[in-house]
């Protein structure tokens, strides 16, 4: 049975592409050198796939920044202002990705958004009245030829027209339908060039098909492809989907003249059912059965059982999505052999495809037996007590008493804060010195005592300063933390940390998600020491600072042997221990960050409450349900795009929530008002993602806008996120303006 890969991690085994690109940004290497290194990397990856025996090897999955941006530029979808910049094509490309400020002009970067339900970000193409789609680029052809020269006939990959339109933004009254004929013509031109070059297959990625489709969406899709597919000549077209199932237009897909359909059997809950209802004999089914997102070894027995149920006559084994979302190779990790045996990163997943194919061809029963062992033995010693505790959680465990309205009255008396209390989200600048001290501690150049003295000094400095400028609820500054998940994970049992498990997040940035290996419990108090210390330095209240269970889970590689709900509840109980300890140690305000709660909302609306919020919200409630009525629970979310789940957010039953609002301010405030939001709110009054210092007037305006929609008793004033990435001077100046502005607006009340 043949095998196929949808895409491969392009940053390289040791993040070579990142380092070369950053060197180019810093003028340390020339454009030519960067191109050479990129070509070497592409060749290395193609060869790796070829040597592993993959039959369908992708090309054009490489990118210097993002493949959606590549596609936009291939088709001349570029804002006029950018087109006019007198820069080399590569520099123009980077200008669109990162913004440009220099002697050739001033250009803001394109907006960046999360790629479906992953932590990868794409650049959002912008359409307007001046947009004229036509094939102007050649990257896809050049890379195909490059591989061909090396003796490898690849299958070029391109974002498909429907997804391209679906993910783009349309300005001045334009809409996707306006561009149908242009887009058909442009993709037709790609078909014809690929035909000339002798390509056999083209992969068109259409992940937008796994989101809810309206009848108009379906019509748009059909209109484009009905026309387009008459133009393919001898080129075979693979319609590739991932991150879910295509229940809304499967019946259309099997009728259209595609040569192959790529379907996701991992995240697509209905994929098997759809296919069992009928799959045309003349089409190839590219069955996505190796998980492209998680890092666990494939369970061959289960996979084979799925494959054997497939009615298709022509089947190709494939990954469920691009391998971009997993690290390069387990070989580079220090885990013990017994642990390693369970993991499969990109390179190992390719081997899995080969092994599955051999087993299906009846050549490798030993491999099956070996694989089965991974799933029959006891991988971990499971924590029976914890299991029983979770099974025994009653409804009361998730309900904090008394109800919010009563707590609000009690807490107003308890804290006697002024109207519009001011606070921050937790972290203060992680300066070079702060990072250096942590690195030195890690290298044992500093002992714990010296390090602690340094941290205590930072806390003193910033507590004093917060008092001076008159903030109402203070924070200790999170100087001791590297990252809001890793810091907790290191103190929880059941967590593993990779050495080199980088996954591209955007451009040259990567993240190294920790792995949930076993049952999670708190091993020892995590944040008590520094929170307590900070509180002892002042008569004002200091907020304790924790990361919530849903965010910890969403930013980790989850287990597959228990449900994510179960894992999250384990984490929730661990954080609950921490909450109760903070309270017992005199911390009266506790913030539990759920920065990433919105992030993993299912792609289909119909799944929101049955597949996610139904356990995510209770998990958060479990964390704080046992605290005293007077203890004030805050939470923070990074995205303001939760307009449509406002009741669920209110249902987290926190006392105060802060969130990013500087960009879509008004819209969310209207909704909060319309839904009669109960929780007190601190919509961020300025954007911390920029080094700009907001003026007093600007902040006053923001506060006044909030007061138009939210009752004054419920409003808090704060920046829109933590300040760890900011410089010290701009942070001081911004927060001084924030407290001044608040004092002035208070006089108007």
Q: Mark the segment that binds ligand GLN (CB under 6 A) among 135-143, 420-428, 575-583, 697-705.
A: 420-428
> CB under 5 A: which stretch of 441-449, 468-476, 588-596, 601-609 binds Zn ion?
588-596
Rounded to a whole number of angstroms, the minimum distance from the CB of residue 730 to ligand GLN is 16
Tell me how far, at minimum, the Cβ of 98 lies from Zn ion, in Å: 21
Q: For ligand GLN, which is the closer residue by CB, 129 or 435?
A: 435
Contact call for residue 722 and ligand GLN (CB under 6 A): yes
Please pick, among 26, 297, 342, 689, the residue that the annotation labels catalytic: 689
Q: Which two tokens stand for residue 343?
A: 């993991």
From CA 6, how far away is CA 161, in angstroms rounded?
17
State the minimum distance, in angstroms, from the CB of residue 719 to Zn ion: 9
Which of 476, 634, 724, 726 lies at the binding interface for ligand GLN (CB under 6 A)?
A: 724
CA-CA distance, 83 to 93, in Å (whole number)?
10
Please identify which residue in the block is written with the tokens 């590297």.
482
CB of 430 to ligand GLN, least distance (A): 9
Stretch that binds ligand GLN, among 52-60, 214-222, 307-315, 721-729 (CB under 6 A): 721-729
Residue 706 CB burial class (10 angstroms; 0-12, 13-18, ≥19): buried
User: What is the closest distance, in whole angstroms, from the C-beta atom of residue 425 to Zn ion in the complex?
Assistant: 6
Question: What is the dihedral sign for C-alpha 39, 42, 45, 49?
Answer: negative
Q: Which of 82, 425, 553, 668 binds ligand GLN (CB under 6 A)?
A: 425
Per DSSP, helices labelled H in 262-364 are 271-276, 300-308, 337-340, 346-360
**Count of positions on this chain that bind ligand GLN (CB under 6 A):** 13
Binder of residue 593, out of Zn ion, ligand GLN, none (CB less than 5 to 8 A by kind): ligand GLN
Which region, judged by CB under 5 A, interacts with Zn ion, from 72-80, 229-237, 345-353, 719-727? 719-727
H or E segment to which residue 658 belongs? strand 656-659
C-beta of 70 vs 720, nearer to ligand GLN: 720
Local structure of 112: helix, strand or coil: strand
Cis peptide before 601 (omega within 30 of 0): no
Comparison of 515 and 688: residue with beta carbon closer to ligand GLN: 688
Q: State which of positions 624-643 bind Zn ion (CB under 5 A).
A: 638
Query: Taking each helix axis from N to C terminus, what angle separates 31-51 and 346-360, rounded to the nearest 10 degrees?
Result: 30
Phi, psi of 650 (to 5 degrees): -60, -35
DSSP 555-584: TSBPPSSS-HHHHHHHHHHHHHHHHHHHHH
Report how far residue 177's alpha carbon sits from residue 305's, in angstroms, rounded to the nearest whole number.
Answer: 42
Stretch that binds Zn ion, among 130-138, 307-315, 464-472, 715-723 (CB under 5 A): 715-723
CB of 114 to ligand GLN, least distance (A): 14
Give whichever of 300 and 465 is closer to ligand GLN, judged by the CB atom: 465
Residue 210 near Zn ion by CB under 5 A: no
Query: Of 513-552, which residues contact ligand GLN (CB under 6 A)?
Result: 545
Q: Is 596 in the site for Zn ion (CB under 5 A)?
A: no
| Radius of gyration of the CA atoms of the chain, in A | 27
242: tokens are: 């991932």
CA-CA distance, 251 to 428, in Å (whole number)? 54
Count of CB atoms situated within 10 Å of the CB of 635: 27
The yes-or-no answer on residue 634 being catalytic is no
Among 167, 386, 622, 721, binds ligand GLN (CB under 6 A): 721
Binding status of residue 592 toward Zn ion by CB under 5 A? no
Q: List 388's β-bridge partners, or say none.
A: none
Q: With contacts defined by CB under 5 A, name the span among 115-123, 458-466, 518-526, 591-599 that binds Zn ion.
A: 591-599
427 near ligand GLN, judged by CB under 6 A: yes
Query: Tell me, what DSSP letter sits at residue 539?
Result: S
Distance CA 684, CA 705 (A): 12
Residues 11-40: x/- map of binding to ligand GLN (CB under 6 A)? ------------------------------
Work out what residue 534 binds among ligand GLN, Zn ion, none; the CB cut-off runs from 5 to 8 Å by kind.
none
State how far the Cα of 497 lies from the Cα of 266, in Å rounded to an integer: 25
- Residue 545: contacted member of ligand GLN, Zn ion, none (CB under 5 to 8 Å, by partner type): ligand GLN
Chain positions 334 to 373 lying near Zn ion, rule: CB under 5 A, are none
Q: What is the DSSP string of 226-286?
A: HHHGGG-TT-EEEEE--SS--TTTHHHHHHS--SEEEEESSS-TTHHHHHHT---TTSEEE
b (16+ CB within 10 A) / e for 527-558 = bbebbbbbbebeeebbbbbbbbbbbbbbbbbb
Intra-chain end-to-end CA distance of the chain, in Å: 73
Binding-site positions: 15-18, 114, 119, 425-427, 478, 555, 593, 599, 636, 638, 660, 721
Of these, 48, 484, 492, 745, which contacts ligand GLN (CB under 6 A)?
484
Instruction: Give the nearest residue (CB) to Zn ion.
Output: 721
Note the maximum CA span of the chain.
Answer: 81
DSSP tally for the chain: helices H, then strands E:
29, 24
Binding to ligand GLN (CB under 6 A): which residues in 614-653?
A: 636, 638
Q: Please, are residues 121 and 114 in contact by the beta-carbon 8 Å criterion?
A: yes
Nearer to Zn ion, 143 or 594 (CB): 594
Q: Which is nearer to ligand GLN, 13 or 478 (CB)?
A: 478
Return phi, psi of residue 613, to 5°. Answer: -60, -25
721 touches Zn ion (CB under 5 A): yes
Q: Which one, 446 or 638, has the nearer CB to Zn ion?
A: 638
- Which parts are annotated binding residues for 5-methyltetrahydropteroyltri-L-glutamate? 15-18, 114, 119, 555, 599
List the interface residues with ligand GLN, window 452-481 (CB under 6 A): 478
User: Quick one: 595 or 627, whose CB is closer to ligand GLN?
Assistant: 595
Structural contact between residues 590 and 526, judged by C-beta atoms closer than 8 angstroms: no
When asked if residue 324 is in the footprint of ligand GLN (CB under 6 A), the reply is: no
Instruction: Say how far apart CA 324 and CA 375 lie, in whole Å.
Output: 26
Q: Please, what is the minimum distance in Å from the beta carbon of residue 503 to Zn ion?
A: 20
Q: Taking the complex as a whole, how short is the minimal distance between the CB of residue 649 and ligand GLN, in angstroms?
A: 15
Q: CB of residue 293 vs ligand GLN: minimum separation in angstroms? A: 22
Tokens for 669, please give them.
Answer: 């405030």
Interface segment toward Zn ion; rule CB under 5 A; list 98-106, 125-133, 216-224, 595-603: 595-603
Of all residues in the shown chain, the one whose CB is closest to ligand GLN is: 722
Provide the sign of the torsion angle of the four alpha carbons 188, 189, 194, 198, taken in this order: positive
- To the nearest whole angstrom, how small is the minimum distance from the Cβ of residue 461 to ligand GLN? 17
Nearest to 621 by CA among 566, 567, 572: 572
Contacting positions for ligand GLN (CB under 6 A) = 425-427, 478, 484, 545, 593, 595, 636, 638, 721-722, 724
Contacting positions for Zn ion (CB under 5 A) = 595, 638, 721
Catalytic residues: 689
């Amino acid at each position: 049975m043949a095998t196929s890969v949808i895409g491969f991690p392009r940053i390289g085994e040791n993040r070579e592409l990142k380092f070369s690109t950053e060197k180019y940004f810093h003028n340390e290497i020339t454009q030519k050198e960067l191109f050479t290194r990129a070509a070497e990397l592409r060749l290395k990856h193609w060869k790796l796939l070829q040597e592993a025996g993959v039959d369908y090897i992708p090309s054009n999955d490489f990118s210097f920044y993002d493949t959606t941006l590549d596609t936009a530029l291939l088709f001349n979808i570029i804002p006029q202002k950018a087109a006019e910049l007198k820069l080399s094509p590569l520099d123009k490309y980077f200008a669109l990705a990162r913004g440009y400020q220099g002697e050739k002009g001033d250009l803001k970067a394109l907006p960046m958004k999360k790629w479906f339900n992953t932590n990868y970000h794409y650049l959002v193409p912008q359409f307007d009245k001046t947009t004229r789609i036509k094939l102007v680029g050649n990257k896809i052809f050049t890379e195909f030829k490059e591989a061909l020269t090396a003796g490898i006939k690849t299958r070029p990959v391109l974002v498909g027209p429907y997804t391209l339109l679906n993910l783009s933004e349309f300005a001045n009254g334009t809409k996707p339908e306006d561009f149908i004929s242009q887009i058909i013509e442009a993709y037709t031109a790609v078909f014809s060039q690929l035909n000339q070059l002798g390509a056999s297959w083209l992969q068109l990625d259409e992940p937008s098909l796994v989101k809810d489709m309206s009848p108009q969406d379906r019509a748009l899709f059909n209109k484009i492809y009905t026309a387009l597919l008459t133009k393919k000549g001898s080129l075979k077209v693979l319609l590739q989907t991932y991150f879910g199932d295509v229940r809304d237009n499967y019946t259309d897909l099997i009728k259209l003249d595609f040569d192959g359909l790529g379907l996701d059997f991992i995240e697509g809950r209905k994929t098997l059912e759809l296919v069992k209802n009928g799959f045309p004999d003349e089409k190839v089914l590219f069955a996505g059965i190796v998980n492209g997102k998680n890092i666990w070894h494939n369970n061959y027995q289960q996979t084979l059982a799925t494959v054997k149920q497939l009615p298709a006559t022509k089947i190709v084994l494939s990954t469920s999505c691009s391998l971009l979302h997993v690290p390069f190779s387990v070989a580079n990790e220090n885990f013990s052999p017994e642990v390693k045996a369970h993991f499969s990163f990109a390179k190992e997943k390719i081997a899995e495809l080969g092994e599955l194919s051999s087993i299906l061809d009846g050549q490798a029963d030993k491999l099956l037996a070996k694989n089965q062992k991974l799933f029959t033995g006891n991988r971990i010693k499971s924590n029976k007590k914890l299991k029983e505790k979770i099974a025994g959680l009653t409804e009361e465990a998730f309900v904090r008493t008394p109800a919010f309205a009563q707590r609000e009255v009690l807490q107003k008396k308890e804290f006697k804060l002024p109207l519009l209390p001011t606070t921050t989200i937790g972290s203060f600048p992680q300066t070079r010195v702060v990072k250096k001290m942590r690195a030195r501690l890690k290298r044992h150049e500093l002992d714990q005592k010296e390090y602690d003295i340094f941290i205590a000094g930072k806390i003193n400095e910033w507590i004093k300063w917060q008092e001076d400028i008159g903030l109402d609820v203070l924070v200790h500054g999170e100087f001791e933390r590297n990252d809001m998940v890793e810091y907790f994970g290191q103190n929880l049992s059941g967590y593993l940390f990779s050495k080199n498990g980088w996954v591209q997040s955007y451009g040259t940035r990567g993240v190294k998600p920790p792995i949930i290996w076993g049952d999670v419990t708190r091993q020892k108090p995590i944040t008590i020491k520094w929170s307590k210390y900070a509180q002892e330095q002042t008569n004002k209240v200091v907020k304790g600072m924790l990361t919530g269970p849903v965010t910890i889970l969403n930013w980790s590689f989850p287990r597959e042997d228990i449900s994510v709900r179960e894992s999250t509840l384990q984490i929730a109980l661990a954080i609950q221990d921490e909450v109760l300890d903070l309270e017992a140690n005199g911390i009266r305000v506790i913030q539990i960050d759920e920065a990433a709660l919105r992030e993993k909302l299912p792609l289909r609306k119909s799944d929101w409450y049955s597949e996610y919020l139904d356990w995510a919200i209770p998990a958060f409630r479990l964390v704080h349900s046992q605290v005293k009525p007077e203890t004030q629970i805050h939470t923070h979310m990074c995205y303001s795009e939760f307009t449509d789940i406002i009741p669920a957010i209110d249902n987290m039953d926190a006392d105060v929530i802060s969130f990013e609002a500087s960009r879509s301010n008004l819209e969310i405030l209207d909704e909060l008002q319309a839904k009669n939001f109960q929780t007190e709110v601190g919509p961020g009054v300025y954007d911390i993602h920029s080094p700009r210092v907001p003026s007093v007037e600007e902040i006053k305006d923001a506060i006044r806008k909030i007061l138009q929609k939210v009752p004054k008793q419920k409003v808090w004033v704060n920046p829109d996120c933590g300040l760890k990435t900011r410089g010290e001077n701009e942070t001081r100046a911004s927060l001084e303006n924030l407290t001044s502005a608040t004092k002035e607006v208070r006089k108007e009340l």
